[in-house]
A and B are shown apart, each in its own frame.
Chain A
Amino acid sequence: MAAAEFDIPELKDDIEIPKLREGVMAHAKSFLAPKPVQDFMGYPHELGEDWKERAIDKMGDLLGKYRSLKVFLDACVHCGACTDKCHYYLGTSDPKNMPVARQDLMRQVYRRYFTTAGKLFPKLVGAKDLTKDVLDDWYSYYHQCSECRRCSVFCPYGIDTAEITMAGREILNHVGMGQKYSNEILGKVQKIGNNLGLPGPALEDTLAGLEEDIEADTGVPVKMPMDVKGAEVLLVTPSADFFSEPHVESLIGYAKVFHAAGINWTLSSHASEAGNFGLFNGNYETMRKVAMRIRDAALELGVKRIVVGECGHAWRVAYSFWNTLTGIGYGGNDPFSIELQKQLDPTYPQPQHICELTNDLIKSGKIKVDPSANDDLVVTYHDSCNVARASRMGTEPGGQFMIPRELIKSVANNFHNMADDTIYESTFCCGGGGGLLTDDLMEVRVKGALPRMTALNNVVKEHQVNFMATICAICKAQFTKVLPKYGFDMSMVGGVHQLVSKAIKLD
């Protein structure tokens, strides 16, 4: 089905705050998940007669399990600080894409059914009954949020709309309105082992082909091992790295780094995916099940270190949640955690980001690089939201900003940051994160990319930037599609390890 026509926003000199245009994005509806997809996930595929009760019950359940949801629904004072912070609002001007308004879609229902004021004086406090219209609004606007957390940086109470969106999607799933894109992927990763649905043999073929390519290119037999028991490092990377462009260039980069450093590493066919769409759905059990594949693979292969490739939300799940969900990390004193901890090498952080690993190797001189190999490029760096605002690298706060930049600067001579209010913790989402990287949401994706494209355009004009490095599979896929819509070359985007790959010396 062809996507509906829409206007591509015009790039201006500055990121402008648009006047409200009510309802202009209400039509954007991601495809609903069909029966087989919902069946596998254990959700209904259509609204039953009791959908309203189910929705309210689920909301009550979540309010009891997540303090974030309860506090965030209570604490907002409608100050307006977040209203101009969301890239989807800036790109679409639909007021329901303002973070507070997106939250209010749920807050109005929360107030009506769970608070004294809303039960007694609904009109006064903006409380509303849960109707089919409200539910449709939820479906539409909770799939126009990439859970990027930019609003949470600027909220005086730290209210994170991502938490509300996740709860909204969880409730929608429970009443039978799942999103096709995310839920299909969650099926594939659990049945086959990765989001793309590449079976083990296909993966082996792909890796063998890549090994040949590298050897033809460099004359060095760099290997991409899979399922090697007793390897030191298990590399878990987004499956897009195996065959999407430009992702695969970074995979080649990781392989060269391991080769040059003499590290014995392996991929896993069982855990051939770092991505975890359970995060986007906001379902703890699903997220845990998907993450458990990594633990299982680590135990099975007996590895001492777990390293994660270039993937934004995967790094959030790995860094912030793996220890909680699967015991990958330190500090657990229960049998479940100890079983894995005693196998892991305590001299390394677990899990470790590939950028941490490579940066350390370069700084300690264990691998050599020649930055002039990238002299044809003027590089900028796009901070991916989940890395920037929901995780860390290294030992100091902010390491997630400095380490990738240090790494880029050590392998490339020309680097320029984009504007301050569009990088680091203020970074703008690529527009395709959080389960929106699907063609049926192309209008949302293109318009949501406007702030980032504006910032990029400025460094292109000012510094002749011709390469935007990033460490997220979703960012890469999104930009590859969206850059041409704004008149840029799609090959302008690529991974940090794509740069490493060019500069690294293999002897």
Chain B
Amino acid sequence: MIYAGMFYIATLLLVVGLVYKIFDYSRTPAPLKIPTTPAPTTKKGVVYRMAKEVVLFESLFKSNKWIWVFGWLFHFGLFLVLARHLRYFTEPVWFWVGIVQPFGKYASIMMVVGLAGLLARRFLVDRVRYISTPSDYLMLVLLIAIGLSGMLMTFVAHTDIVALKTFFMGLMYFDVQPVPQDPILLAHLALVALLMVIFPISKLLHAPGVFFSPTRNQADDPREHRHVAAWAARLDQNN
């Protein structure tokens, strides 16, 4: 029951927090055209640029190969791991989620290796150490703990995934079922819930934020299209 309540609250906070933040970003105007150039001149081009940024971390690749390798390993690993976890929330399990299972299993290694690399940089590179706050370290530790506890259950001490699925399907249909009493699983789930709560009030906002970044999401067409924010348009009326 505690875990059921915990996940309901965590999900609520995550969704409400994220929806609010996305709403807040989208209602805040970008009064000037500030794409970092060279930039695409069309909307289609912007979608392509953003896709390269989100999927391949293009700017980061140009910037620093170590951060790129670790960062990309972590994020792509996480993506596959999350995809794999969809099997606990779908019945029958979607076709592609079935295909992704073995990949997701080993992607956890990518994920943890990437995170460990990022954590090592925080200790080893003086510039990164200087800018790191306690939360920067703890965030990586939290993610590593989630990854390792998950890997323990995948590779070492299996948990009762049938009962776990019953628990999550129950949550989804508001028919609360008991959570399996496996200490590793309970730790894993509690940490995930914590991550969900932290998400909308932390730097994890970089995930929605990147899509709203004016230097990346604007087309370079200021001579052809007049771009005026509502608060700025009022200034024109006084002339």
Contacts and interface: CB of A to CB of B under 8 A. Distances in A.
Interface of A: 17, 19-20, 63-68, 70-72, 74-85, 95, 98, 100-101, 104, 115-117, 121, 123-126, 149, 152-160, 163, 284-285, 288, 292, 319-321, 323-324, 327, 329-334, 336-337, 349-351, 388-392, 395-398, 400-401, 425
A158 B223 contact: no
B206 A75 contact: yes
Given A155-B59, A324-B228, A79 B67 contact: yes
A75 B213 contact: yes
B219 to A, nearest CB: 10
Contacts of B126: 19-20
B181 interface: no
Most interface-central of A64, A67, A71, A396 (chain B CB within 10 A): A71
Nearest to B60: A156
Contacts of A76: 203, 206
Contacts of A334: 226, 233, 236
Name the interface size band of chain B. Answer: 35 or more
Contacts of B232: 284, 288, 324
Interface string B66-94: 01000100000000000000000000000
A190 to B, nearest CB: 16
A70 B127 CA distance: 25
B34 A390 contact: yes
Nearest to A349: B223
22 contacts: A66-B28, A67-B29, A67-B30, A70-B25, A71-B214, A74-B206, A74-B209, A78-B136, A79-B60, A84-B64, A84-B127, A95-B131, A101-B131, A117-B135, A149-B215, A153-B36, A155-B63, A158-B213, A285-B235, A324-B31, A392-B220, A397-B38
B214 A75 contact: no
Given A66-B31, A126-B134, 5 more contacts: A98-B131, A101-B130, A320-B222, A321-B222, A336-B236
Contacts of A395: 41
A78 B37 contact: no
B11 interface: no
Nearest to B207: A75
A77 B209 CA distance: 11
B212 A67 contact: yes
Nearest to A150: B36
B221 to A, nearest CB: 8
A327 B121 CA distance: 48
A124 B36 contact: no
Contacts of B21: 74
Given A80-B131, A100-B131, A101-B130, A425 B37 contact: yes
B227 A350 contact: no
Contacts of B227: 323-324
Contact of A154 (B59, B220, B225): B59
Q: Is the interface of B mostly helix, strand, loop or mixed?
A: helix
Contacts of B59: 81, 153-156, 158
A333 B228 CA distance: 11
A149 B36 contact: yes
**A-B interface, 9 closest residue pairs, ranked by CB to CB distance from nearest:** A75-B209, A126-B133, A158-B215, A154-B63, A332-B226, A397-B38, A80-B128, A83-B127, A158-B216
Contacts of B44: none
Most buried by B among A66, A79, A124, A284: A79
Given A78-B203, A284-B232, A388 B209 contact: no
Most buried by B among A95, A100, A155, A324: A324
B118 to A, nearest CB: 8
Interface in B182-202: 198, 201-202
A83 to B, nearest CB: 4
B76 to A, nearest CB: 14
Given A124-B138, A388-B37, A350 B223 contact: yes
A329 B226 contact: yes
Contacts of A121: 135
Nearest to B30: A67
B33 interface: yes
A160 B215 contact: yes
A351 B223 contact: yes
Nearest to A330: B224
Contact of B125 (A74, A80, A156): A80
B195 to A, nearest CB: 14
Nearest to A120: B201
Given A330-B223, A400-B37, A71 B131 contact: no
A154 B36 CA distance: 10
Contacts of A349: 223
Contact of A65 (B133, B136, B213, B231): B231
A75 B224 contact: no
Contact of B226 (A68, A163, A284, A324): A324
A389 B37 contact: yes
Contacts of B41: 395-397
B210 A79 contact: no
Nearest to A69: B28
Contacts of B24: 70
B127 A20 contact: yes
A349 B118 CA distance: 47
Interface in B20-70: 21, 24-25, 28-34, 36-41, 53, 57, 59-60, 62-64, 67
A115 B198 CA distance: 12
Contact of B215 (A80, A152, A392): A152
Contacts of B231: 65
B209 A157 contact: yes
Nearest to B134: A124
Contact of A66 (B30, B132, B135): B30
A68 B206 contact: no
Given A324-B228, A327-B226, A67 B131 contact: no
Contact of B223 (A75, A123, A154, A319): A319
B205 interface: yes
Nearest to B38: A397
B203 A77 contact: yes
A68 to B, nearest CB: 5
A319 B222 contact: yes
A321 B32 contact: yes
A71 B212 contact: yes
B210 A75 contact: yes
A115 B205 CA distance: 12
Nearest to A160: B215
